[in-house]
Amino acid sequence: MSDLVEQVKSEKQMPVAPRPRRLSHEARKRLLRLAYHAVGLFPLAWLIFDFWFGFLGAEPIRAMILRTGKAAIIMLTLSLACTPANIIFGWKQSVIVRRALGLYAFMYVCIHLTIFVWLDYEFQMRLVVEEIILRRYAVVGFIAFLLLIPLALTSTKGWQKRLGKRWKSLHKLVYLIGGLAVIHYIWLVKNAYTQPLIFAALIGFLLLVRIDPIKQFFLRAWRRKG
């Protein structure tokens, strides 16, 4: 009996391991901000690195056009994935990330178009206009760019308040832009369809999740899990 009492006393005197401290709300927000900016800027940093050290191959301008276009569609796909991430996994921070990734998509489209006009055509606007009119991939890509402009300009909370319900209607254009981006990519690369079709499948799935019956299915599954 005395041995048992001594054992209980020794256990009480043993130091209790401190619980790991959870990150504060502000710290988590800062880490999230750092993460999405790192994701958004990585393709540009990689492109600058390859350009500086001459790793862009025999056709560097074409390589830059293709890589900035691919970066744009990746950012667009990731931004479209944010709402399904909230629906399927209950990720509440998706709205913040969605806006940032959408703006990065617009940034890469602008770089993509700038390289096309500046480096490829040396600001010969007559030739640029002819290319856009005569090439179907250029027509589709340019329409997608024009549709992105109002979305980028009205992405702030101030514009969201000003437009009210019209803001959501306007930003539904991103679904059309996603489809146009995939068509542009398919027509641009011609016979190398694997990657464009992967993006088409991903964007198609992300749009399907928004359809109300499918959305409700995932929401019910998330509630049962919770």
pLDDT tens, 17-60?
556 567 676 787 888 889 999 999 999 999 999 999 999 999 99
**Which residues, given as ranges, of the chain have pLDDT below 70?**
1-21, 23, 25, 222-223, 225-226
Q: Under a CB-based contact definition with an 8 Å cutoff, are residues 141 and 135 in contact?
A: no
Compute CA distances 21 → 17, 18, 24, 91, 99, whole Å: 12, 9, 9, 22, 30
Residue 68: predicted pLDDT: 96
- The two tokens of residue 142 are 């340019």
Among 27, 78, 106, 80, smallest CA distance to 207 is for 80
Q: What is the pLDDT of residue 87?
A: 82
